[in-house]
Chain A
Amino acid sequence: MQALLDVYKIRQDFPILNRKLNDGKRLVYLDNAATTQKPKEVIDSISRYYSEYNSNIHRAVYQIAEEATQEYENTREKIRKFINARYPEEIIFTRNTTESINLVAYTWGNSNIKKGNKVILTEYEHHSNIVPWQTLCHNKGAKVKYLEVDDDGYISLEDLEVLISQKGGGKTKMIALSEMSNVLGTIFPAREIIKLAHEKEIPVLLDGAQSVPHMKTDVQQTDCDFLAFSAHKMLGPTGVGVLYVKKEILEDMKPFILGGDMIKEVHKENTIFNDLPYRFEGGTPNIADVIGFSAAIDYLNRIGMENVREHEHKMTTYLLDKIQNIKSTTIYGPKNAKDRGGLVSFNMEGIHPHDCATILNDYGVAIRSGHHCAQVLMEKLDIVASSRASIYIYNTNEEIDILIEALNHARRIFDI
């Protein structure tokens, strides 16, 4: 592991960063919370699968199918290690974080959440961690309760405790929350929250879509019961998500997608389901992209997740400082970079985020504008949208300077 991450060397691994846009400008990609770019070795590994050993996995006995099966299962093992799970069968491949959470809601949730029960979420959740629970609770006659987020983007454990033990509110059966907010940037104290929940025998699902790509993840240390995340937000391809579930919970869970590959035996009247984790991977999976994800994990391991976090912390400090100095700008979330991941959401008075993003595009700067699939939080903040700049391992302070120049240009156009 190198002591510090060498951004300029890293940049050479990402073909897209050499791309010139329509007017000859260089791409300044600051929308990493939406999806990250892919290094050449990820792109190559997908291409290698299709050109050298493309075949369906798990059943065929010929050479290339065995190679494909091995690469696919190697990825599972790599992910186990990456998040420090105990067993590879605790790792289930899905399409994305959303599907991972849906899997839990549809199977575990459907079996365990009953009329009058309660599911606790937070106000900063992404829609993918609200809608499945809301729908489940609606169908079951259960309730969704939201843990409040304060003006600085923090939550309080005392509030959580009150919410759990609220009289007449029903028994809390699940706490589902993001480890890092995709709007506020806040990193939440997963371990403390889970400790509190477990004292009351409540399982916890962590939405790791924003946290797993940016910091060291250890499911044994946080002791989460479920963890969902996506490959494409951590250098990997789109179309691959991961769901980690503690083995003892997974063993009792009913399957989700029914059909091929998830069975052991099928007869006219009955079916015997496959072992873990295959029981939860019905149909031909996204083999190529799972294999591509393997290359992404290798890449991140080589850099070291501590270095990823350190780089983002430094850059976030710089980004926060620069944006804070722009007049009439509101920043959402913690003021202190150490409590944040690598993203900053903001609004400039008098300029709608969409207009802001359109003007930034002139500079080749790609940021996100909108509600970031977090409308419950938008309502809380009393805004319809915000702009969000989010960074990753290949971003530089020079790129932040271009962002700032572009933001100042937007202010000139709107005369504020």
Chain B
Amino acid sequence: MSEDIYREMILDHYRNPRNKGKIEEPDIRINDSNPLCGDEISIDLKVEDEIIKDIKFDGRGCAISQASASMLTEMVSNKPLTTIKEITKDDILENIGLTNLGPARIKCALLSLKVLKLGMVKYYVDKDPSSADEMKDQSKVF
């Protein structure tokens, strides 16, 4: 039932998103959208010594995609950039408390993780273009 999905935590992050907005002169800026529903997420990161010093997200979309993005920014803030590699689909679903989402809505929940991983890959490939092959699987979420 949808009461199980739209619990207070999700609605709170949807209405009062954490770390929402843009960073001026970010080290990483990346965005993607969900072609099925048009949810959009962009993420800005400030990285110092491989640590995520600041993170902001922006976007339009459903409560699940926006709340999930908000929670993800809290999850990785002040963590090493490499942490992003370790985050799995299940970590996100557990973090937002939605482990039984249907296949259509799972994409909403995971859009921000996809964007964040793309951003990390872009960061490392920009620094070292020869790592492109090694990094290409790192952005996969599913």
- Report yes or no: A384 in contact with B1, Cβ–Cβ below 8 A: no
A354: contacting residue among B1, B3, B11, B62, CB under 8 A: B62
B28 at the interface (CB under 8 A from A): no
A413: contacting residue among B6, B36, B38, B40, CB under 8 A: B6
- Report yes or no: A354 in contact with B2, Cβ–Cβ below 8 A: no
Interface string of A369-405 (1 = CB under 8 A from B): 1110001001000001100000000000000000000
B38: contacting residue among A358, A385, A415, CB under 8 A: A385
Residues from chain B with Cβ under 8 Å of A23 in the complex: 1
| Residue in B2, B37, B40 whose Cβ sees the most chain A Cβ within 10 Å | B2
A352 at the interface (CB under 8 A from B): yes
Residues facing B in A16-32 (CB within 8 A) are 23
Known: A352-B61, A354-B64. A413 touches B2 (CB 8 A): yes
- Report yes or no: B38 in contact with A359, Cβ–Cβ below 8 A: no
Residues from chain B with Cβ under 8 Å of A354 in the complex: 37, 39, 61-62, 64, 105, 108
- Report yes or no: A355 in contact with B6, Cβ–Cβ below 8 A: yes
- Report yes or no: B6 in contact with A371, Cβ–Cβ below 8 A: no
Residues from chain A with Cβ under 8 Å of B3 in the complex: 413
Residues facing A in B44-78 (CB within 8 A) are 60-64
Residues from chain B with Cβ under 8 Å of A362 in the complex: 1-2
- Chain B proximity of A89: nearest CB distance (Å): 38
Residues facing A in B1-41 (CB within 8 A) are 1-3, 5-6, 11, 36-40
A50 at the interface (CB under 8 A from B): no
- Report yes or no: B38 in contact with A370, Cβ–Cβ below 8 A: yes
Residues from chain B with Cβ under 8 Å of A358 in the complex: 2, 5, 105
Interface size for B (C-beta < 8 A) is: 18
A317 at the interface (CB under 8 A from B): no
- Report yes or no: A384 in contact with B38, Cβ–Cβ below 8 A: yes
A286 at the interface (CB under 8 A from B): no
Known: A362-B1, A384-B61. A414 touches B6 (CB 8 A): yes
Q: For residue B5, which residue of chain A has the nearest CB? A: A358
- Chain A proximity of B68: nearest CB distance (Å): 13
Which of under 10, 10 to 19, 20 to 34, or 35 or more describes the interface residues of A?
20 to 34
A54 at the interface (CB under 8 A from B): no
Residues from chain B with Cβ under 8 Å of A222 in the complex: none
Residues from chain A with Cβ under 8 Å of B37 in the complex: 353-354, 369-371, 385
Residues from chain A with Cβ under 8 Å of B1 in the complex: 23, 362
| Residue in B11, B60, B63 whose Cβ sees the most chain A Cβ within 10 Å | B63
Q: How far, in angstroms, from A362 to B5 measured CA to CA in the complex?
A: 11
A361 at the interface (CB under 8 A from B): yes
Q: How far, in angstroms, from A414 to B62 measured CA to CA in the complex?
A: 12
Interface string of A327-364 (1 = CB under 8 A from B): 00000000000000000000000011111001101100
Q: For residue A23, which residue of chain B has the nearest CB? A: B1
- Report yes or no: B63 in contact with A355, Cβ–Cβ below 8 A: yes
- Chain A proximity of B111: nearest CB distance (Å): 12
Q: How far, in angstroms, from A413 to B105 measured CA to CA in the complex?
A: 18
Q: For residue A352, which residue of chain B has the nearest CB? A: B62
Residues from chain A with Cβ under 8 Å of B39 in the complex: 354, 384
Known: A352-B61, A352-B63, A354-B105. A371 touches B2 (CB 8 A): no
Residues from chain A with Cβ under 8 Å of B108 in the complex: 354
- Report yes or no: A370 in contact with B36, Cβ–Cβ below 8 A: yes
Residues from chain A with Cβ under 8 Å of B40 in the complex: 384
Residues from chain A with Cβ under 8 Å of B11 in the complex: 413-415
Q: For residue B101, which residue of chain A has the nearest CB? A: A358
* 24 sampled A-B residue pairs with Cβ under 8 A: A351-B63, A352-B61, A352-B63, A353-B62, A354-B105, A354-B108, A355-B6, A358-B2, A358-B5, A358-B105, A359-B2, A359-B6, A362-B1, A369-B37, A370-B38, A371-B37, A378-B38, A384-B38, A384-B39, A385-B38, A413-B2, A413-B3, A414-B6, A415-B11
Residues of chain B having any CB pair with chain A under 8 Å: 1-3, 5-6, 11, 36-40, 60-64, 105, 108
Nearest first, the 9 A-B pairs at minimum CB distance are A352-B62, A354-B62, A359-B2, A384-B38, A371-B38, A370-B37, A355-B63, A384-B60, A355-B62
Residues of chain A having any CB pair with chain B under 8 Å: 23, 351-355, 358-359, 361-362, 369-371, 375, 378, 384-385, 413-415
A sample of 12 more A-B contacts (CB under 8 A), given A359-B6, A384-B39, A384-B60, is A351-B63, A352-B62, A353-B62, A354-B39, A354-B64, A370-B37, A375-B38, A384-B61, A413-B2, A413-B3, A413-B11, A414-B11
